[in-house]
Structure 1
Amino acid sequence: MKDFINVLYRNHALAYKVLLFICTTFLIVYLFPKSGKFKYNFEKGKPWQSENLYAPFNFAIKKTDAEIATEKQEIKDKVPLYFNLDATVKNTVSNNFDRAFKSLFPDTLGVYKLSILKSAGNKIIDKLYHFGVLSDDFTYKPTKKVILLEGRVEKEQTQFGNLTEENELTEIIVKVLEVDNLLAYKNEFTSLFFDLVEPNLIYNKDFSASVLQEELDKVSYTRGSVERETLIISKGEVIEGVKFQILKSLESEYESQVWNKSNYIWIVFAYTLLVALALLMLLLFLQKYRLSVFENNVKVTFIFFNVAFMVLVTTMVVRYNSQYVYVVPICILPLVLKAFFDARLGMFTHVITVLLLGLIVPNSYEYMFLQIIAGIVTILTVSELYKRANLFISVGQITLIYIVAYFAFFVIHEGSIETLQWETFGLFVLCGLATLFVQPLIYVYEKLFGLVSDVSLLELSDTNSKLLKELSNKAPGTFHHSLNVANLAEAAANEIGANAMLVRVGALYHDIGKMKNPTYFTENQSTGINPHDELSPVESASIIVNHVIDGIEIARKNNLPDRVIDFIRTHHGTSVVYYFYMKEKKVNEDLNIEDFMYPGPKPFSKETAILMMCDSVEAASKSLKEPTSTKIDAFVETILNKQMSEEQFLNANITFKEIQSIKKILKRKLTNIYHLRIEYPE
């Protein structure tokens, strides 16, 4: 047991990756839809590509969603509405009318006139309550069937248009009075009946809903059936009409029958194999081509997290409504990975993720084609993510590619553009807008995972930042030297395709350790006094070497990213402080060279190697007297060849060809800096 724990401890990084791999695999499989997959791919209007298909079992032919919706709508139109009728309301209104009539119309009108007016009022009441007065306003069609209930017993059937709504009161009064030539009394009757009329019909919502549901439950979702071994479709036959619906029914029935208790474990196992295989390819890619990323558990976790996150979001959208699957901004994944790593890693991870998503989305081939093409465009168009204009232009190009590719697929499937669903293009526009969320997402990832993107590097390159301001105040010579090194290093990085922004930032901060003892470095000795004159060569070398350690401490206190601290650690590699070493050797032959060596490590990337070259060349160039092009060329060759002979670049993935290109850049830049100028007259 103790031996096992020791082995596990020694290989804890690998054990973590295995655990991460297993957890991510099971998480993605858990998110997948719980159904089998129909083994045939088919599209409406296209020929059947497989062999003759016979029914593997008995199954019912399902109606289309449109057919079912039509049937349900017809039932909703036919099923009557039920209203409770209160017969006592009419009598109450009549009695109230008799009492109000006597007070409204004076006896001076005469008996005959009063009888005519009263008769008109009774006609109005009969007209209003012939079928009944509604208590609320409704929006049903006038032809909608209505059944009036009195004490749960059906009393009468009519149409909704025959019922009286309260807003029709004035219209009915006018019609009755117009027939009897009594329009002169319109205002009196209107004010009277607006106070007297009460509704006697109340909508029985529960009973109406129960009757409707009872009829809807009778709807059949199938029409006919197919017997086992019946020929469904022949090879080359066009899939359309009834054939298409039979195939869709078989697909649905097949998936529902495949996913049952007896083979649940087998299907989960098959899904697990596919997901594990895809994630394994991603790990192998990292191990073979991105070893530095593979060895960093935080970075591996970050990559796997993004893959799982994209699967989670897409799965949630598919479960809600698969029509919105193109709203999910999948292209955020290659954008994020390119911002933190490189284009090749971003593209490979994007393809693996799209392959996984192909298992859960409808029209998987169309989906994967669109997303892979969009991912390629993303990688090719976004070069400098920290420039907002570049991001907007790239998002516009991605959206255009989506629209063009979808249009092409639609024409291939349908053969025309008459039924083109233009709202789908709106989904692609929303996807493009969602892709712009990558900027705040990168910021969140930087804080959560401690990674550094070009956006943060741009902020760090600001010479007005607190730390660089402090450097310019305490060690102005070092600050000026750092600016020169940054310019040289950036030019060299651009020449060989390295990360120019990263190496520039590294150059700006590589000598911040000199702030602790600035006067011990020649570029800051403005008074002509050299404090090294009072120290032994060993003590002087110790102070010079310690500026690397001091720089790391200052960087960590100021929360500089590890990628920037790497430049501080490696910019001298394991080289020797040669001046003090030779000075001590003159008086002491038996000296330890390690006392004069920087602690290292050696540069382990193109960027850190570039900084070492540019730092050494720029610092030593100050000692050139009457520099000429020939002197500068020999000077650069001597310094870089010495570093190569000391194997300082052994761990950096930089080639001889790239070093030669860097030499050319440094020679040209230094020649421009130290070119002779004409002598101005006094």
Structure 2
Amino acid sequence: MQNPLQRLNKTDNDYVRYALLLASILLITFIIPKQAKFKYEFEQGKPWMHEDLVAPFSFAIQKNPTQVQREREQIRTNFKPFYKQNTKIEADRKRHFTSLINQLSASETDVSAEEKKYLLQRGTALLDEIYERGIIALDTNIRNRPKEYIITELRNNVAEDKQLQAYFTTSEARSAIITRANEDSTINKAWFIRTIIASLEPNIFYEQDLSEKKLNELLENVSPTRGMVRQNEKIITKGSIITTDRMQVLTSLKNDYEAKHGKSYLLFIGYLVLVASLFIMYAIHLEIFHHDILSSTRSMVLILINVLIFILLTAYIAKRQSVNVYLIPYTIIPIVLLAFFGLRIAFVTYFLVILLCGLVVPNPYEFVLVQTMAGFTAMLSMARIRYISQFFISALLIFMTYCLVYLGFSFIKSGLIRTVEWDIFIWFGGNFILTLLAYPLIYANEKIFGFLSDISLLELSDINNKLLKELFLRAPGTFQHSLQVANLAEAVIDRIGGNALLTRVGALYHDVGKLHNPEFFIENQKHSFNPHDNLTDLQSADMIIGHVTKGVETAQEYNLPKRVIEFIRTHHGTTRVEYFYKHYVQEHIDEDVDDTAFRYPGPKPSSKETAVVMIVDSVEAASRSLKEPDEKQIDNVVDKIIDSKIQDNQFDYATITINEINATRRILKKLVKSIYHIRIQYPAEAEKKKSTNKKTWVFKADNVRDFAWTSSRKFVWDAMPITVEGKKIMCMSFYGKEAYGVYRPFSTKAVAHTIKSYSKFTIPYPYPVAQSVEAANGMEYPMICFNY
């Protein structure tokens, strides 16, 4: 069942698309925070580039957040926490001590009643002395404080500042008791000391509620302003450097101005005009350069959804201010759109989003420039995706761009490293992680909207794909032909401009219809038997033409994308099967032959890519049929094929220009000649008779025990140099000219690869030459090897 979003194009309508644009304009205007903008832009350390500025109204000079925070920290540092004496504890501890003394028997203390009475008085006096100074309870506020730390003590409703050293701690009170007992032998009794120490307990405690209340009052009383600027007072003159103090004054004026003019219906109109203007320019760009996208409802929905999502996120974060906008991975937009629509659409749409978000975020100039640089990095690093690892590399490069550009801005603003807000790099790190979501988002958009991305094309270009493997096994000649067409077509499109990856994939699958009855196509015929000998011309033509319709059916069976199937439909357009048509005409001279039965059903190519594949398919097949290809023959073949396509009006609907067709003509001639290695013309006479002339060859070889050589008038002699450990080695191959088309791409390269590999894993090749000769049997000698 087709996805509803994929059916959008069936109801393509200009009114629908323009309604989508209008709805987007209104929605964005409603959701973005509306705030009046101060008409002057300025930066600290830069000159004031505008006219002399006079205060339009009186306003307070606001301290910057750092100053306010510094003052608050100073208050917290200097704040004296409140402690209160609990007077009940002293009396309670004395009673406790008296009770313990009275409970002791004579046998336990070994003292008389008179001595016990004396010790009771001495103990009470010691407790009076201890509690007069006070025992402070150690809490988290003072536990690690120095003795000079000052607190505020409340005693009998009187507040008094004291240092911590004015009080005993519990351990210090115990030590004081022991010291007094050691100084007075009359009380230096173990049981007495134990009893009085057991009666000690802190009587000075932290007043948390009162302390927090007083601290909050002090913090709230920190003024966010410092002085006033009166109306009509000159603030700054043109050309003056914006110092730190002037920056605070200008920022204060800007904030007050935007607050005073924050609510007005003109604000809404202003934002509406700006948003509408940006969208109108965007629509005009699409109309001029990408009418196919503007005329596709499905494409417009995909683009507008991506635009709206990021603007909604920006507006939400700008209102909450709990998250930095640099966390939002804006570069996902060009990465996703690049996969479906190309570089230009990705850039223009991304710039539209950045400009719209610039209306919302603080420091719009910095924001737009930073995001523009990151966007350029994203598009350049993802312009030609070939590996999935590119997503990680691209995200890493984007992260580095953010960091470098932001650092540059920070240094320009203040020129000091200490003023850099290093916390923002954490947000850049989050942005890096979120940017990696581009890969699954491309896949999701592809499935939801039915588009074809480079990721899917890469998967389809893998020759281990199930359909291509079946083509290789059942129609190996067609498979080799398709590979050659893919290479040539990709090279052409790469130079004249277009989607090279789509062209390669389309070329790889253009002949999959030959899976059915492959023996009816010459490239798959292994023996002299030709099955067309048993068919009429009409039957043969129908068999040949049928590979297009069967190819479409096979592609649909394997769920190939529609854009790839389009190459299968159009690679022959509405051309004729010339061989069987001409043969039929010769057999029916007296008839007025209708060529309809000999023409492919079409349609004709509708894009530059399908047109190029049509040309390359015919050129590659025709050049294979040349028995002795030379430069002139190849030129004639390419010109004849392209001219016949033009005369047959096969490019009427293709988006390819005459200049691009002529460029294709030149590129193909050069490429096909390189395939067939057209460099040296061999005289035909040399092959027909022996030469009567004398030619002497001198061979010299060092460090050899035997030798061999070969010669033939029909040999193709090919060579290429390589370097092994600084020594130049000439790799050569000799083979019959009949094998030229097969051996040319591989033979000499195989020699070079062998020498390099064995030199790497065994010993360096010791000779200056390495030759491979096509022969009837095999044998190896120094510098020459006969292969069969």
Q: TM-score, normalised on structure 1?
A: 0.82
The 5-angstrom pairing of residues 231-380 of structure 1 reads: 231-240=234-243, 242-260=245-263, 263=264, 265-321=265-321, 324-380=324-380
Equivalent pair of 2:61/2:227 in contact (CA under 8 Å): yes
Equivalent pair of 2:134/2:202 in contact (CA under 8 Å): no
2:505 is the counterpart of 1:505: yes
Instruction: Give the letter aligned to residue 658 of structure 1.
Output: E
Measure, in 1, the Cα distance between the counterparts of 2:132 and 2:440.
67
Equivalent pair of 1:82/1:203 in contact (CA under 8 Å): yes
Equivalent pair of 1:55/1:230 in contact (CA under 8 Å): yes
Q: Deviations over 1:204-257 (max 9, x none)?
A: 545544444445444443444444434333333443355433322221121112
Shift of 1:507: 1.3
Equivalent pair of 1:133/1:163 in contact (CA under 8 Å): no
Change beyond 3 A, Cα 1:539–1:241: same
Equivalent pair of 2:503/2:609 in contact (CA under 8 Å): yes
Match of 2:694 in 1: none
Change beyond 3 A, Cα 1:664–1:182: farther
Equivalent pair of 1:62/1:222 in contact (CA under 8 Å): yes
Measure, in 1, the Cα distance between the counterparts of 2:395 and 2:568.
37
Match of 2:700 in 1: none
The answer to which of 611-620 and 527-536 deviates more is 527-536
Shift of 1:545: 3.4
Measure, in 1, the Cα distance between the counterparts of 2:300 and 2:128.
84
Shift of 1:171: 4.3
Change beyond 3 A, Cα 1:674–1:225: closer
Change beyond 3 A, Cα 1:553–1:155: farther
Q: Deviations over 1:45-94 (max 9, x none)?
A: 43332223333334333333344334444555666645676655555555
Equivalent pair of 1:173/1:186 in contact (CA under 8 Å): no
Identity of aligned pairs, percent? 38
Give the secondary-structure state (helix, strand or coil) at the position aligned to 1:180.
helix
The answer to which of 104-113 and 380-389 deviates more is 104-113
Instruction: Give the letter aligned to residue 488 of structure 1.
Output: L
Change beyond 3 A, Cα 1:593–1:197: farther
Measure, in 1, the Cα distance between the counterparts of 2:142 and 2:603.
82
Equivalent pair of 2:513/2:551 in contact (CA under 8 Å): yes
Give the secondary-structure state (helix, strand or coil) at the position aligned to 1:60.
strand
Q: Deviations over 1:256-277 (max 9, x none)?
A: 12122xx2x3211211211121
Match of 1:470 in 2: 470
Change beyond 3 A, Cα 1:531–1:54: same
Equivalent pair of 2:619/2:638 in contact (CA under 8 Å): yes
Match of 2:177 in 1: 176
Equivalent pair of 2:343/2:383 in contact (CA under 8 Å): no
Structure number with larger C-alpha Rg: 2
The answer to which of 592-601 and 98-107 deviates more is 98-107
Match of 1:4 in 2: none
Instruction: Give the letter aligned to residue 414 of structure 1.
Output: S
Match of 2:695 in 1: none
Equivalent pair of 2:488/2:668 in contact (CA under 8 Å): yes
Measure, in 1, the Cα distance between the counterparts of 2:469 and 2:657.
36
Match of 2:32 in 1: 32
Shift of 1:22: 2.0
Give the secondary-structure state (helix, strand or coil) at the position aligned to 1:181.
helix
Equivalent pair of 1:485/1:615 in contact (CA under 8 Å): yes
Equivalent pair of 2:85/2:153 in contact (CA under 8 Å): no
- 1:653 is matched with which residue: 652, 655, 670? 655
Change beyond 3 A, Cα 1:295–1:424: same
2:19 is the counterpart of 1:19: yes
Equivalent pair of 2:333/2:346 in contact (CA under 8 Å): yes
Measure, in 2, the Cα distance between the counterparts of 1:185 and 1:646.
128
The answer to which of 350-359 and 313-322 deviates more is 313-322
The answer to which of 609-618 and 289-298 deviates more is 289-298
Measure, in 2, the Cα distance between the counterparts of 1:114 and 1:660.
127
Unaligned segments of structure 2, at least 5 residues = 1-7, 678-714, 717-734, 737-773, 777-788
Measure, in 2, the Cα distance between the counterparts of 1:567 and 1:60.
71
Equivalent pair of 1:86/1:200 in contact (CA under 8 Å): yes
Change beyond 3 A, Cα 1:104–1:508: farther
Measure, in 1, the Cα distance between the counterparts of 2:351 and 2:180.
82
Change beyond 3 A, Cα 1:488–1:74: closer
Match of 1:662 in 2: 664
Change beyond 3 A, Cα 1:85–1:286: same
Equivalent pair of 1:133/1:201 in contact (CA under 8 Å): yes
| CA RMSD across the alignment | 4.3
Measure, in 2, the Cα distance between the counterparts of 1:597 and 1:158.
108
Match of 1:137 in 2: 140
Shift of 1:489: 1.9
Shift of 1:39: 0.9
Change beyond 3 A, Cα 1:658–1:117: farther
The 5-angstrom pairing of residues 568-587 of structure 1 reads: 568-585=568-585, 586-587=587-588
Shift of 1:177: 1.5
Change beyond 3 A, Cα 1:117–1:417: same
Change beyond 3 A, Cα 1:134–1:492: same
2:617 is the counterpart of 1:615: yes
Q: Deviations over 1:518-550 (max 9, x none)?
A: 444444455766555666555554454343333
Equivalent pair of 1:334/1:349 in contact (CA under 8 Å): yes
Shift of 1:280: 1.9
Match of 1:599 in 2: 601
Measure, in 2, the Cα distance between the counterparts of 1:612 and 1:537.
24
Change beyond 3 A, Cα 1:258–1:527: same
Which has the larger share of helix?
Answer: 1
Q: TM-score, normalised on structure 2?
A: 0.72
Higher relative contact order, chain-length normalized (CA < 8 Å, sep 6+): 1
Equivalent pair of 2:475/2:518 in contact (CA under 8 Å): yes
Measure, in 2, the Cα distance between the counterparts of 1:426 and 1:21.
36
Equivalent pair of 1:329/1:434 in contact (CA under 8 Å): yes
Q: Deviations over 1:404-459 (max 9, x none)?
A: 54455444433566645555566656655654554444334333433333333222
Instruction: Give the letter aligned to residue 644 of structure 2.
Output: K
Equivalent pair of 1:124/1:173 in contact (CA under 8 Å): no
Unaligned segments of structure 1, at least 5 residues = 1-7
Measure, in 2, the Cα distance between the counterparts of 1:136 and 1:186.
33
